[in-house]
């Protein structure tokens, strides 16, 4: 957990002209600063190929904050103070000369302030540049702590399959120690995802129920209403399985399924998550269809306006087989979860933007109010990650009237209503954690590799030329109808989120 201690640091962002910097990183840093939680003194050096003056960079970041930040500057003065910490160094990350320039810029900043030399390098570039950045940080000596700490934050994708993830990890490991490497998965920084851990491990009432004796099934849904937007070229290479399941959805599964860690610190949490990964039943390459299904959105209407199908998006092949929807049925083979199916689904251009985890409990063993116990809905705990952050527990209640009729009612906690504020952005928490040296909510190397290994048979099956095309679904729908049949095989149904 952040200690709240102030210490100077310098953050270098590679890929400072990109979307991530504009939409997430600088708005998050600004919000931290505005909320007085960013350690000071700090400096942020943006770096990218384009020649941009310091002032122009500051102006662009002002725009980014206006458009994307959670909080707006209360006055020009406050913004100016923040902006004074922003600077820019142009250069090609593949060129060693850039690193001499960066060192020069950092030393000038550090020379003007006291305290240790703490440096954080953020990889916000396309992953094809990671090798060069790591190599150059190593060769220039910048990877070594200089009387303080030196850390890197690496954005996903961490490779595109098991082999490439291992290669990336060993490349990083040649230059950095594991405790210097922060692999970011922004889902872990979401407020409600952290709340899930608090719900499980700070309350006595849930943990005794959190097992196969009481839980019938778990559904994890991350549905997006947007399409691939401007990222067609990236998405063609990725697809929903790589883009969302390998990281965000499997991370959620681990947090739901893991045993209580001894403390909420990096090693115990990572160890428990890894145990879950080891307990997930490996996917039989001959039976991929039984546990995985893919879909692709076709054209449709959103808000009455026509939207293109995936194959008509910019940067997408007209005969693309890339999946924009993926559903999985996973089994966690351990004492706690034996026999409980974990259903995961994610998709773009779905009917609604919603991320949630639904835990459905068993029906009561004997129903005294109805002849037909199936007529009473089982209890369900839904953790809403976004939007409308919160959680709801449905219980059976008597409906008003002379007859003894039952109906489900929700015990609902809404984050916004209770705390009266929107939760902070995931990047705020995670950036702060990296500055404070806390990697609990980051992904460890072995977890990442295991996640790729687990999905390998599905990736291999779907890449085959002979593999059937993904099932088509209409934009603004709940995915292909085949996905309903997929879950119905076990007698279940997708939750209507």
Yes or no: say if 127 and 167 are a contact pair by the CB < 8 Å rule: no
Enumerate residues 334-373 that contact ligand BG6 by CB under 6 A.
355
Told to check if 161 binds ligand BG6 by CB under 6 A, we report no
Enumerate residues 268-297 that contact ligand BG6 by CB under 6 A.
none
Rounded to a whole number of angstroms, the minimum distance from the CB of residue 186 to ligand BG6 is 6
The torsion region of residue 374 among left (phi > 0), alpha (psi -120 to 50) and beta comes to: alpha
Strand order across the beta sheet in which 119-123 lies: 86-90, 42-48, 9-14, 119-123, 150-154, 181-183
For ligand BG6, the closer CB: 186 or 349: 186
The torsion region of residue 479 among left (phi > 0), alpha (psi -120 to 50) and beta comes to: left
For ligand BG6, the closer CB: 42 or 427: 427
Enumerate residues 433-452 that contact ligand BG6 by CB under 6 A.
none
Rounded to a whole number of angstroms, the minimum distance from the CB of residue 313 to ligand BG6 is 13
Told to check if 191 binds ligand BG6 by CB under 6 A, we report no
Is 436 annotated as catalytic? no
For ligand BG6, the closer CB: 79 or 427: 427
Rounded to a whole number of angstroms, the minimum distance from the CB of residue 132 to ligand BG6 is 22
Rounded to a whole number of angstroms, the minimum distance from the CB of residue 386 to ligand BG6 is 6
Told to check if 243 binds ligand BG6 by CB under 6 A, we report yes
- Site for ligand BG6 (CB under 6 A): how many residues? 4
Yes or no: say if 273 and 258 are a contact pair by the CB < 8 Å rule: yes
Dihedral sign for Cα 123, 127, 129, 134, please. Answer: positive
For ligand BG6, the closer CB: 150 or 192: 192
Rounded to a whole number of angstroms, the minimum distance from the CB of residue 185 to ligand BG6 is 8
For ligand BG6, the closer CB: 102 or 391: 391
Residue nearest to ligand BG6 (CB): 243
Dihedral sign for Cα 443, 448, 450, 455, please. Answer: positive
Told to check if 224 binds ligand BG6 by CB under 6 A, we report yes
With a CB cutoff of 8 Å and minimum separation 6, the contacts of 491 are none
Catalytic residue, candidates 144, 248, 278, 370: 248
Rounded to a whole number of angstroms, the minimum distance from the CB of residue 431 to ligand BG6 is 15
What's the CA gap between 329 and 218, in Å, rounded? 10
What is the signed CA dihedral for 245, 384, 194, 72, rounded to 10 degrees?
Answer: 100
For ligand BG6, the closer CB: 42 or 325: 325
Give me the helices (H) in 129-219, please.
Answer: 130-139, 162-175, 191-201
With a CB cutoff of 8 Å and minimum separation 6, the contacts of 489 are none
Told to check if 389 binds ligand BG6 by CB under 6 A, we report no
Alpha carbon 435 to its chain centroid, in Å, reads: 19
Yes or no: say if 235 and 322 are a contact pair by the CB < 8 Å rule: yes
Q: Which residues are catalytic?
A: 248
- Judged by the rule CB under 6 A, the positions of this chain that interact with ligand BG6 are 186, 224, 243, 355
């Amino acid at each position: 957990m952040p200690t709240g201690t102030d210490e100077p640091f310098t953050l270098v962002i590679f890929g400072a002209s990109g979307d991530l910097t504009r939409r997430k990183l600088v708005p998050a840093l600004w919000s931290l600063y505005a909320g007085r939680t960013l350690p000071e003194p700090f400096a942020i050096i943006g770096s990218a190929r384009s020649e941009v003056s310091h002032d122009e960079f500051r102006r662009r970041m002002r725009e980014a904050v206006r458009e994307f930040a959670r909080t707006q500057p209360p006055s020009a003065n406050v913004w100016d103070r923040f902006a004074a910490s922003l600077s820019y160094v142009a250069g090609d990350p593949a060129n060693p000369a850039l690193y001499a320039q960066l060192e020069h810029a950092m030393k000038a900043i550090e020379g003007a302030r006291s305290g240790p030399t703490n440096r954080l390098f953020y990889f916000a570039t396309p992953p094809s540049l990671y090798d060069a950045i790591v190599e150059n940080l190593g060769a220039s000596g910048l990877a070594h702590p200089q009387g303080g700490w030196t850390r890197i934050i690496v954005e996903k994708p961490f490779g595109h399959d098991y082999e490439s993830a291992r290669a990336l990890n060993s490349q990083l490991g040649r230059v950095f120690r594991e405790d210097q490497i922060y692999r970011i998965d922004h889902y872990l920084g979401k407020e409600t995802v952290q709340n899930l851990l608090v719900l499980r491990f700070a309350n006595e009432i849930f943990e005794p129920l959190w097992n196969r004796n009481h839980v019938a099934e778990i559904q994890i849904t991350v549905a997006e209403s947007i399409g691939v937007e401007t990222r067609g070229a990236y998405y063609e290479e990725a697809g929903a399985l790589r883009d969302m399941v390998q990281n965000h959805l499997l991370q959620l599964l681990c947090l739901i399924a893991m045993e209580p860690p001894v403390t909420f610190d990096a090693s115990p949490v990572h160890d428990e998550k890894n145990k879950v990964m080891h307990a997930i039943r490996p996917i039989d390459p001959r039976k991929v269809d039984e546990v995985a299904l893919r879909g692709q959105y076709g054209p449709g209407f959103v808000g009455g306006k026509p939207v293109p199908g995936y194959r008509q998006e910019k940067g997408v092949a007209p005969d693309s087989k890339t999946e924009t929807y993926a559903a999985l049925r996973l089994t966690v083979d351990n004492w706690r979860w034996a026999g409980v199916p974990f259903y995961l689904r994610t998709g773009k251009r779905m009917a609604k933007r919603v991320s949630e985890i639904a835990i459905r409990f068993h029906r009561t063993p004997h129903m005294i109010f109805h002849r037909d116990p199936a007529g009473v809905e089982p209890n369900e705990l839904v953790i809403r990650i976004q939007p409308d952050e919160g959680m709801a527990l449905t219980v059976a209640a008597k409906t008003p009237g002379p007859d003894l009729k039952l109906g489900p009612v929700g015990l609902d906690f809404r984050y916004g209503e209770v705390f009266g504020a929107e939760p902070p952005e995931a990047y705020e928490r995670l950036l702060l954690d990296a500055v404070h040296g806390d990697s609990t909510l980051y992904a460890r190397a072995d977890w990442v590799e295991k996640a790729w290994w687990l999905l390998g048979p599905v990736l291999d099956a779907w890449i085959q030329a002979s593999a059937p095309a993904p099932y088509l679904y209409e934009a603004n729908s709940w995915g292909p109808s085949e996905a309903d049949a997929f879950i119905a095989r076990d007698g279940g149904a997708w939750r209507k989120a």
